[in-house]
Structure formats: C-alpha cells, structure tokens
Chains A and B, each alone.
Chain A
Amino acid sequence: MEFKHDVIIVGAGLAGLRAAVEVAGNTDVALISKVYPTRSHSGAAQGGIAGALGNEEPDLWEWHMYDTVKGSDFLADQDAAEILAKDAPRAIYELEHMGVPFNRTADGRIAQRAFGGHTSNFGKAPVKRACHAADRTGRVIMDTLYFESLRKGIKVYEEFYLLDLLMHEKRVVGLVAYELATGAIHTFHSRAVLLATGGFGKVYKTTSNCFANTGDGVSAAYRAGVSLQDMEFVQFHPTGIYGLGVLISEAARGEGGILRNRYGERFMEKYAPGLKDLAPRDVISRAMAREIREERGIHGRDFMHLDLTHLGKDRLAEKLSDISSFVRIYLGIDPADDLIPVQHTCHYMMGGIPANLDGQVLGENQQVIQGLYAVGECACISVHGANRLGCNSLLDLVVFGHRAGKRIVRELGDLAWNPMPKEPDKSFLVKIEHLKERQKGESAWVLRNEMQGIMTAHCSVFRKKEDLEKALAGIQSLMERYEKVVIDNRGMRFNTDLTEAIELGSLLNLSHVILVSAMAREESRGAHFREDYPERDDQNWLKHTLIQKTGEVCRLSYKPVTITRFEPKPRVY
C-alpha cells in the first residue's frame, strides 16, 4: 500500500514523541515505530533529566554548559551545548506542565539529585541537577508524551519497521516500511521525515540497550548516502549488572553509592580525587578496567562491587526501587545487605546522523538535506562530543525534539512533494524474497554472536591499532557471510526471524563504521581511548569525524568543532 502524510516521524522514544507533540494538531503527521510505542527504549531511562533549576542548591546554566563541554572532552559543539543547558529549565517545566510526576522537594518544587560530572562553580563540587521520578524517569516522561500526542490526534503505525529511506535528487521523498503483523511492505510518501530511531548498543555483547536498539535509522541514512559523525565514540557505563548488562543507574551513586575493589577500597579516590564515584562514565569505566587488569577485580575476576548497603532500606525503596528489584530478581541478593557485582556495559552512542541545531540533517558540504531531520540518540548535533554526561540524553531528546518539531511546522509550507522513485520497494521486496528462498547458509544469530564478540573484545574501553585491525578483518568477513544469511521462518505474520536478519545488516554496517572511524583517530579523547595514543591531541584531532559510503567503500573527512565560551584545557576531575 502507499500511505501519504505531510510529516513522518520514525521512532516513538522521547525524541520522536517530543517532536510529535509539537507537530501534531494542525499538520498531517504519522508516527511509525517497530516496537509498540510504549515499549521504546527511552522508557528504560532510570536516573533523571538534567537542568539548572537550582531547586536544591544554587545552580546556573553556565555551569551546566561547562560540565557538558568538559564531559565531552571538548568535542561538543558549544553553540549546541549552550542551547541544551540554557533551554533545560524551560523544557523541564514544560514536562511538568504536561503532567510528568517528578519527585518533589519539601516545599513542593521538583526534586533534584547529584549525577556524574555535574558540578557547581565550573567543576568545584558535585551539584544536584538531575530531576527525577524515582528510578523510572524515562518511563513516566515517555508515557506522558505518548498520551499527549494521541490526545493531539497523531496517527500511529504501530509495529511498522523502517526498511529504507527514499530520496530524490538529494531531497527526502518518503520511506519504505515492513508491517510486522502482516508481512506487507508499504511505501510512505511525505514531505518531511524525522528520524528518531535511537541507539545501537546491540553491536556489543554486553549492553544496557534493548533488543530493538539496532540502529536501523542510522544505517538507512548511511545507505542513502548521508555521512555519519563521530561514530568512534561509544559510551560504556561502569555499572551494568555483571554478566547481564542490565543497568544500575548512576542515580545509585548520586544517592551515595560507592564503587569498591576486591580489597574493599574506594578506588575512584585514586583516579578522580575531586568527584570520585561521580566522575564521568568514561573515566570510571577506564578506572575499573585498570583495576581489573591489575588484579584488583573481585576475587581477581572481571567485575567490581557497587556498595549501596549504607543507604538503608527506606532510601533504597523510595529512590531506587526498580534498581533494587532488578538486583533481587536477577542476582537473588538484596542491595540493602549485599554488594552488587558490576561490570561496564555498552550504553550510549555519542555519534550518529549529523544535524544542525534544529535537527536538520546535514549532507554534502554541511548543506541541509531538504525534508530530512534527525534527533535523539540516532543524531549527532553534537552536544555530547566524545562522552555524554548522565541525564543529558533525556534533556537532549526533549530540547532538540521540540526544536526540530517547531522547525518542521515552520518549514512545511516551503517543502514540496517530490516524486516517488519508480518501484521504491523493489530492492527490499527482492531482498526479502531471496532471504526466504535461500536454503543454505548461516543463521543470523550465529553471525550476530560473532560480531558482538569481536566488537567487545577489540573495540571497547581500551583500543589499539592491532586490535582494531583484527576486528575490522573479522567484521568484513562477517559482512561477506551475511550475504548468505538464512532464516527458518518463511511466514508472513510477526516474522521476527526475518526482521532480526535485517537488523543484523544494520548492525554489521555500523560496526564497520565504528571501527574505521576509531582506527583513524590516533589520539585519546573521552570514550575513545587508544593505548597506542594515550594523550588527547588538540593540535591534530580537535575535530569531528565524518564517514560516508561511496559505492562499496567508505570515505573519511573531518569538520571543525564550534568553540565559543570554553577553550580546551586538560580534563581532570
């Protein structure tokens, strides 16, 4: 079938929904999501959303901006970081007005707590900046925005899977989608497409990300010729539940939790004497990896302990109840009495589709691609640079979701209906047919396991040339084997065997892009740590990576960082 809407938003996480609320009402807008909207991964966000409201102690947006820039290891574009920090209070009040049930201070204002890398007075001491609803902040914001966008009459295509972006002479025309319930392939004709498809942590074996975080939107943009930005910057969160990767939010340390090694030492005192357990994630993940290498992991093994026992049962029940229940269910221990085994877990992708301050996607020579927008984790605006601070993602989603939505409304009158290409769905129809017919080859899960193993072993917290080369060869050979991937299910209804095989295509593409970008960057900055180049090198590398697909190969180029208020300086915590 062919559907037609002025605006199509792909993705129902906070980024897509915030834009949807802005656009819905007087425009013909549709939302498509491969998981039922309320299942989107924004709902897993636990800790909070940052904003210098100053409800608990003095705070200024300038301090927030500084922390963001320093956290990014000076790779964030400072015009973007300024908007993020300055607009935060407004964006959060607006969420409150829509009904988000934030926790409250004694005098009835929005309660705030400490979070990694957020400080007062340009780095002097931790500050309470994270607005939260216990440890289910993302969930309550998402439900509020979802029901608000329904109230405004948005059309939702639930469980529709974006296969391909359609372009015509470098303008967006629409997209091709697969309907999970029926197996039908549909085309969507539109004047504007906003991508809000989230991250792709499933590139790695251990991740806090959901099964749906496979980077389909980023990969579709890449295949359509859009370059990707800063893809080497992958955030590993220090506290995933050992073995599982399920997240124990930084909120646990914001409330007073402490990381310990096998001797019970609070090892972060050594690595970040100022902020200790509330240092940014890249710093802590590396410190943990060091401790483990030097055999101070618990029982000499590859995990550390998170100590929440001193917080007391009441505080745990009130502020960290979901987390406590994860620990009870999956580990069978009680955080009030027992230490929690934790290990770093792939958490967030700083890189993505390059976009300007209004979410307009940037193509060739940084020119706007007409009609194409991207916000949220799939985009790179870039506010997070080489390392994102906790609670700045939810903020990014609502601040830039709102801006992109406004831009679309403003611009729609000028956006034309471009002609659809002939047989727009042909390539995927053929691909799916082949997939279903193929009898001999390997299953997607076998290739996926290998990919995750390779990326985890060779492109995690520590990286070096030989490892990255090894990984690249491995991924390239997997890409060849993927050409002959087979599936078991030839049916039409909810064929997740088929969609998982398609997702693997995106993941392999993105693994490749991450590796090529990481090999090229011969310095250490934020989450990208090269053992063979352990220092930051502003002389040569204070710039954003761009990688573009040209035919069967990819091409790297670079663009400058926007620096306004804060000159780069050594990053110590």
Chain B
Amino acid sequence: MEVNFKIYRFDPETDSKPYYRDYTITANPTDRILDCLNRIKWEQDGTLSYRMSCGHGVCGSDAMKINGRCALACQKLVKDYEGKEIILEPLPSYKVLKDLIVDLDPFFEKVKFVQPYLLSTTALPEKERLQSPENSKKLDIAIRCILCACCMGACPVLNENERFLGPAPLVWAFRYIFDSRDTQYLERLKQVDYSHGAWACVNYYECTRACPKEIPITKYINTIKREIQKSKDTNR
C-alpha cells in the first residue's frame, strides 16, 4: 500500500528555519516506521538523518514524535496509523541537531544527577549479596528503562520547565531507592525532594502513556513522593 510521510527537516548549518518534506513510499501494514524511514533514506533522500541501532525497541535510539505522540520508530508499525498521513518530528524539549536527531546531553546529565549506580557502605560478602525475590521484584519493571527519553519528550511539565528533573531520572531514582542493597536510601530521597524534583510532577500521566516499556512512571513518582513524606514523618 502507499503511505504518505511528512518529515521534519532542519540542518542548523544550512537552513534558516525548519521545514517539512513529503515522501510517499510503498509499504506493508506490518512494516516498522523505522523500515519506512530507511526506505526513504536509501531510495529517495540520503540527506535525511535519524538515529537507529537495534531495530526492536531495546537500545532507545529512535525516540521521536509520530503523529504527535512520542514513541520509538522501530516499535510502531504502519498499520498503527492506518490510512493516515504519518508525521515524523524530533523529540520535543531538546535542541535539534539535524532532522530527527536531538541533543540528549541534558537528558543524560539529569540521569547522572540521581547517581544511577549502587551506593553501599556495607562490607562485600565473598559471594553475592542476598536479596529477597520480593525486593528484586519491586525493581523488575523499573529496570526496563532503556533511556530513550520518550517520557521526557512527552512530559508537559518538562516542556514548560526545563529545570524539572523529569520522569526517566525519577525512574532511575526509584530503582535505587527501593533496591535493598543500596544503603543511601535517605540521601537518595533528599536528592529528589525539591520543587523541580519529584514534586514538580502534577500527574499528567503522559510519560506513562508514552513509555515504550510500559513502566508505570507516574505511579513510581507518586510512590517516591509518599516515601519522602513518610521519611520526614518518621524523622520528626
């Protein structure tokens, strides 16, 4: 079938402003949007730039806006947009470097802010540290995060206030706050207990809807908020 695409184009070096270009290709309903992008680039217009790697939703390279919603191009199929023109735009909230490629440095800086590694002051055993299956299950879903930043692009708060830490870094905070092996529980709670931290989230649920790994992000942020409150109550 014929599918029409409208794709955001911008090369800051040569274009004074962004524009859209139309493309038409023949595609199967089960083709990935990423397959279509490849076909456009290979067969029609080699100047088009986007990131890709794994092609099946595990590396997080190809987050973009597809018909207004943030998603991975390799996880959406042509049939998901049956009969419609498909509009591809770069992830919002980030500086466009070229076409569908944005500068994600500020995103990774925010992830690093929550210290996304295990902090522990206890002596290491010879073998593995023990952890109950219940505790390990608490992290089961949070560790699905692939750092694609779909949630960041989708978050209305972040769109307005770039100082907001944002959903993905809070998922990483959650992952370590609730890891029984980490001993910095209170410090970690303090780290996100500020107005642009966990508290800036006002429950739009857009991040949860956008997450290609179906992480209940908003729920986790609310859990963090409750945990902060609880820690304050017990310390009073």
A and B held together in a complex: yes
Residues of A within 8 A of B (CB): 35-36, 38-41, 43-44, 53, 89, 92-93, 96-99, 101-111, 133-134, 136, 139-140, 143-144, 147-148, 150-151, 181, 210-212, 244, 246, 318, 321-322, 325-326, 329-330, 332, 443, 445, 487-489, 491-497
Contact indicator B101/A494 (Cβ below 8 Å): yes
Known: A133-B143, A140-B143, A487-B46. A41 touches B97 (CB 8 A): no
Residue of B nearest to A448 (CB): B42
Tell me whether B25 is interfacial, beta carbon within 8 Å.
no
Residues of B contacting A210 in the complex (Cβ-Cβ under 8 angstroms): 53-55, 59
Residues of B contacting A104 in the complex (Cβ-Cβ under 8 angstroms): 131-133, 135-136
CB of B38, distance to nearest CB on chain A (Å): 8
| B 117-143 to A, binary, CB cutoff 8 A, 1 in contact else 0 | 110000010111111110110011001
Tell me whether B49 is interfacial, beta carbon within 8 Å.
yes
Residues of A contacting B32 in the complex (Cβ-Cβ under 8 angstroms): 330
What would 18 A/B residue contacts be, using CB atoms closer than 8 Å?
A36-B61, A39-B54, A39-B60, A44-B56, A102-B136, A108-B133, A110-B128, A143-B116, A147-B117, A150-B112, A211-B52, A211-B53, A211-B54, A246-B56, A322-B58, A329-B75, A489-B47, A494-B99
- Return the 3 tightest CB-CB contacts between A and B, nearest first: A488-B46, A99-B118, A108-B130
Contact indicator B47/A151 (Cβ below 8 Å): no
- Residue A39 contacts which of B43, B50, B61, B214 (CB distance < 8 angstroms)? B61
Tell me whether B231 is interfacial, beta carbon within 8 Å.
no
Additional 18 contacts, C-beta under 8 A, given A443-B42, A493-B13: A40-B53, A44-B54, A98-B117, A101-B175, A104-B131, A104-B133, A108-B133, A134-B140, A143-B116, A144-B117, A147-B116, A151-B117, A181-B97, A210-B54, A445-B42, A488-B47, A493-B11, A495-B49
Contact indicator A139/B58 (Cβ below 8 Å): yes
Residues of A contacting B130 in the complex (Cβ-Cβ under 8 angstroms): 107-109
A105 to B13, CA, bound (A): 55
Residues of A contacting B101 in the complex (Cβ-Cβ under 8 angstroms): 494
Tell me whether B146 is interfacial, beta carbon within 8 Å.
yes
CB of B111, distance to nearest CB on chain A (Å): 8
Contact indicator B128/A493 (Cβ below 8 Å): no
Tell me whether B27 is interfacial, beta carbon within 8 Å.
no
Residues of B contacting A497 in the complex (Cβ-Cβ under 8 angstroms): 41, 46-47
Known: A210-B59, A330-B30, A445-B42. A106 touches B133 (CB 8 A): yes
Most buried by A among B32, B59, B175: B59
A109 to B127, CA, bound (A): 9
CB of A58, distance to nearest CB on chain B (Å): 16
Contact indicator B131/A108 (Cβ below 8 Å): yes
A93 to B128, CA, bound (A): 5
Residues of B within 8 A of A (CB): 11-14, 30, 32, 41-43, 45-47, 49-61, 75, 77, 97-99, 101, 104, 112, 116-118, 124, 126-133, 135-136, 139-140, 143-144, 146-147, 175, 179, 181-182, 214
Contact indicator A212/B53 (Cβ below 8 Å): yes
CB of B86, distance to nearest CB on chain A (Å): 17
CB of A101, distance to nearest CB on chain B (Å): 5
- Residue A109 contacts which of B61, B128, B146 (CB distance < 8 angstroms)? B128
Residues of A contacting B124 in the complex (Cβ-Cβ under 8 angstroms): 97
Most buried by A among B42, B56, B116, B124: B56
A151 to B113, CA, bound (A): 11
Contact indicator A99/B117 (Cβ below 8 Å): yes
Most buried by B among A150, A244, A493: A493
A102 to B60, CA, bound (A): 21
Residue of A nearest to B181 (CB): A99
Residues of B contacting A491 in the complex (Cβ-Cβ under 8 angstroms): 11, 13-14, 47
Contact indicator A93/B42 (Cβ below 8 Å): no
Residue of B nearest to A492 (CB): B13
Residues of B contacting A103 in the complex (Cβ-Cβ under 8 angstroms): 133, 136
- Residue A96 contacts which of B43, B104, B129 (CB distance < 8 angstroms)? B129
A57 to B140, CA, bound (A): 24
- Residue A35 contacts which of B47, B61, B97, B132 (CB distance < 8 angstroms)? B61
Residues of B contacting A326 in the complex (Cβ-Cβ under 8 angstroms): 56-57
CB of B121, distance to nearest CB on chain A (Å): 13
Residue of B nearest to A449 (CB): B42
Residues of B contacting A151 in the complex (Cβ-Cβ under 8 angstroms): 117
A56 to B21, CA, bound (A): 58
Residues of A contacting B112 in the complex (Cβ-Cβ under 8 angstroms): 147, 150
Residues of B contacting A40 in the complex (Cβ-Cβ under 8 angstroms): 53, 59
Contact indicator A445/B43 (Cβ below 8 Å): yes
Residues of A contacting B11 in the complex (Cβ-Cβ under 8 angstroms): 491, 493
Contact indicator A44/B59 (Cβ below 8 Å): yes
CB of B79, distance to nearest CB on chain A (Å): 8
A110 to B12, CA, bound (A): 50
Most buried by A among B14, B43, B127, B147: B127
Contact indicator B59/A41 (Cβ below 8 Å): yes
Residues of A contacting B46 in the complex (Cβ-Cβ under 8 angstroms): 443, 487-489, 497
Contact indicator B49/A496 (Cβ below 8 Å): yes
CB of B187, distance to nearest CB on chain A (Å): 15
CB of A109, distance to nearest CB on chain B (Å): 6
Residues of A contacting B54 in the complex (Cβ-Cβ under 8 angstroms): 39, 41, 43-44, 210-211
Residues of A contacting B143 in the complex (Cβ-Cβ under 8 angstroms): 101, 133, 136, 139-140
Residue of A nearest to B126 (CB): A93
Known: A41-B59, A99-B179. A493 touches B53 (CB 8 A): no
CB of A25, distance to nearest CB on chain B (Å): 14
Known: A143-B116, A210-B54, A329-B77. A105 touches B128 (CB 8 A): no
Residues of A contacting B214 in the complex (Cβ-Cβ under 8 angstroms): 325
Residues of A contacting B41 in the complex (Cβ-Cβ under 8 angstroms): 496-497
A148 to B120, CA, bound (A): 13
Residues of B contacting A102 in the complex (Cβ-Cβ under 8 angstroms): 128, 136
A87 to B145, CA, bound (A): 30
Residue of B nearest to A111 (CB): B133
A488 to B49, CA, bound (A): 12
CB of A152, distance to nearest CB on chain B (Å): 10
A414 to B60, CA, bound (A): 41
Contact indicator A136/B42 (Cβ below 8 Å): no
Residues of B contacting A101 in the complex (Cβ-Cβ under 8 angstroms): 136, 139, 143, 175, 179
Contact indicator B58/A136 (Cβ below 8 Å): yes
A105 to B58, CA, bound (A): 26
Residue of A nearest to B59 (CB): A39
A315 to B183, CA, bound (A): 31
Residues of A contacting B129 in the complex (Cβ-Cβ under 8 angstroms): 96-97
A106 to B134, CA, bound (A): 9
Residues of A contacting B136 in the complex (Cβ-Cβ under 8 angstroms): 101-104
